[in-house]
Structure 1
Amino acid sequence: MAGKTGTTESHRSSGFLGFTNQYAVANYIFDDSPTLSGLYSYPLRQCRDGDLYGGTNRPAPGIWR
Protein backbone atom coordinates (compact mmCIF):
# COMPACT_ATOMS: atom_id res chain seq x y z
CA MET A 1 0.00 0.00 0.00
CA ALA A 2 1.33 3.41 -0.95
CA GLY A 3 0.03 6.90 -1.56
CA LYS A 4 1.09 10.36 -2.63
CA THR A 5 -0.58 13.65 -1.80
CA GLY A 6 -0.17 17.07 -3.31
CA THR A 7 -1.35 20.58 -2.50
CA THR A 8 -0.90 23.68 -4.63
CA GLU A 9 0.17 27.09 -3.37
CA SER A 10 -2.36 28.86 -1.16
CA HIS A 11 -4.23 25.57 -0.81
CA ARG A 12 -6.32 26.22 -3.93
CA SER A 13 -6.30 22.59 -5.04
CA SER A 14 -5.23 19.25 -3.68
CA GLY A 15 -4.98 15.67 -4.79
CA PHE A 16 -4.26 12.11 -3.71
CA LEU A 17 -3.13 8.95 -5.49
CA GLY A 18 -3.10 5.63 -3.64
CA PHE A 19 -2.56 2.04 -4.68
CA THR A 20 -2.24 -1.55 -3.51
CA ASN A 21 -1.52 -4.72 -5.48
CA GLN A 22 -5.19 -4.86 -6.49
CA TYR A 23 -6.57 -1.33 -6.41
CA ALA A 24 -5.67 2.19 -7.43
CA VAL A 25 -7.51 5.41 -6.57
CA ALA A 26 -6.96 9.02 -7.51
CA ASN A 27 -8.84 12.22 -6.91
CA TYR A 28 -8.25 15.91 -7.37
CA ILE A 29 -10.16 18.72 -5.69
CA PHE A 30 -9.96 22.18 -7.24
CA ASP A 31 -11.84 25.43 -7.60
CA ASP A 32 -12.68 26.09 -11.26
CA SER A 33 -14.24 29.51 -10.71
CA PRO A 34 -12.78 32.53 -12.55
CA THR A 35 -11.66 34.11 -9.25
CA LEU A 36 -8.78 32.39 -7.47
CA SER A 37 -9.37 31.61 -3.83
CA GLY A 38 -8.38 29.05 -1.26
CA LEU A 39 -10.62 26.16 -0.27
CA TYR A 40 -11.75 25.17 3.22
CA SER A 41 -11.96 21.45 3.69
CA TYR A 42 -15.24 20.94 5.56
CA PRO A 43 -17.68 21.77 4.30
CA LEU A 44 -15.75 22.13 1.05
CA ARG A 45 -16.11 25.79 0.04
CA GLN A 46 -14.23 28.87 -1.14
CA CYS A 47 -12.50 31.05 1.41
CA ARG A 48 -9.81 33.69 1.66
CA ASP A 49 -7.19 31.55 3.44
CA GLY A 50 -7.41 27.87 2.58
CA ASP A 51 -6.88 24.88 4.81
CA LEU A 52 -7.09 22.20 2.13
CA TYR A 53 -4.27 19.65 2.35
CA GLY A 54 -3.92 16.41 0.40
CA GLY A 55 -3.18 14.08 3.28
CA THR A 56 -4.89 15.50 6.34
CA ASN A 57 -8.44 16.37 5.41
CA ARG A 58 -10.30 15.99 2.11
CA PRO A 59 -8.53 14.11 -0.70
CA ALA A 60 -6.85 11.18 1.07
CA PRO A 61 -9.23 10.48 3.96
CA GLY A 62 -12.24 11.13 1.74
CA ILE A 63 -11.41 8.25 -0.60
CA TRP A 64 -8.81 6.04 1.12
CA ARG A 65 -10.49 4.08 3.93
Structure 2
Amino acid sequence: MIIAPSSSILACATCMADKGSLIGQAQGFAILFMLIVLAFMFACAACIVYTMVRRQRTHSQLEATA
Protein backbone atom coordinates (compact mmCIF):
# COMPACT_ATOMS: atom_id res chain seq x y z
CA MET A 1 0.00 0.00 0.00
CA ILE A 2 1.34 3.40 -0.94
CA ILE A 3 1.13 6.06 1.74
CA ALA A 4 1.01 9.66 0.49
CA PRO A 5 1.43 12.79 2.56
CA SER A 6 -1.90 14.45 3.36
CA SER A 7 -0.91 17.63 1.51
CA SER A 8 -0.72 15.76 -1.82
CA ILE A 9 -4.15 14.11 -1.50
CA LEU A 10 -6.64 16.14 -3.52
CA ALA A 11 -10.31 15.52 -4.19
CA CYS A 12 -11.52 15.27 -7.75
CA ALA A 13 -13.20 18.27 -9.37
CA THR A 14 -16.60 16.55 -9.15
CA CYS A 15 -16.48 16.43 -5.37
CA MET A 16 -14.83 19.75 -4.66
CA ALA A 17 -15.84 22.09 -7.48
CA ASP A 18 -16.45 25.69 -6.47
CA LYS A 19 -20.11 26.54 -6.96
CA GLY A 20 -19.26 29.91 -8.55
CA SER A 21 -16.63 28.62 -10.98
CA LEU A 22 -17.33 27.88 -14.61
CA ILE A 23 -16.15 24.31 -14.17
CA GLY A 24 -18.61 23.73 -11.33
CA GLN A 25 -21.46 25.20 -13.38
CA ALA A 26 -20.49 23.11 -16.41
CA GLN A 27 -20.45 19.96 -14.27
CA GLY A 28 -23.90 20.79 -12.91
CA PHE A 29 -25.30 21.29 -16.41
CA ALA A 30 -23.61 18.09 -17.62
CA ILE A 31 -25.36 16.13 -14.87
CA LEU A 32 -28.71 17.71 -15.77
CA PHE A 33 -28.14 16.94 -19.44
CA MET A 34 -27.33 13.32 -18.59
CA LEU A 35 -30.50 13.03 -16.52
CA ILE A 36 -32.59 14.48 -19.37
CA VAL A 37 -31.08 12.01 -21.85
CA LEU A 38 -31.70 9.10 -19.46
CA ALA A 39 -35.30 10.19 -18.86
CA PHE A 40 -35.86 10.37 -22.63
CA MET A 41 -34.38 6.89 -23.14
CA PHE A 42 -36.51 5.41 -20.33
CA ALA A 43 -39.60 7.06 -21.82
CA CYS A 44 -38.77 5.54 -25.22
CA ALA A 45 -38.33 2.09 -23.64
CA ALA A 46 -41.65 2.46 -21.81
CA CYS A 47 -43.38 3.45 -25.04
CA ILE A 48 -41.97 0.38 -26.80
CA VAL A 49 -43.19 -1.91 -24.02
CA TYR A 50 -46.62 -0.22 -24.02
CA THR A 51 -46.89 -0.63 -27.81
CA MET A 52 -45.98 -4.32 -27.57
CA VAL A 53 -48.58 -4.89 -24.83
CA ARG A 54 -51.25 -3.09 -26.85
CA ARG A 55 -50.45 -5.13 -29.98
CA GLN A 56 -50.57 -8.36 -27.97
CA ARG A 57 -53.99 -7.48 -26.55
CA THR A 58 -55.29 -6.61 -30.02
CA HIS A 59 -53.93 -9.84 -31.42
CA SER A 60 -55.47 -11.87 -28.57
CA GLN A 61 -58.86 -10.24 -29.14
CA LEU A 62 -58.71 -10.98 -32.87
CA GLU A 63 -57.88 -14.64 -32.23
CA ALA A 64 -60.70 -14.95 -29.68
CA THR A 65 -63.29 -13.66 -32.16
CA ALA A 66 -62.02 -15.86 -35.00
TM-score after normalising by structure 1: 0.20
**Higher percent of residues as helix:** 2
**Higher percent of residues as strand:** 1
Q: Higher Cα Rg: structure 1 or 2?
A: 2
Q: Considering Cα pairs closer than 8 Å and 6+ residues apart, tell me whether 1 or 2 has the greater RCO.
A: 1
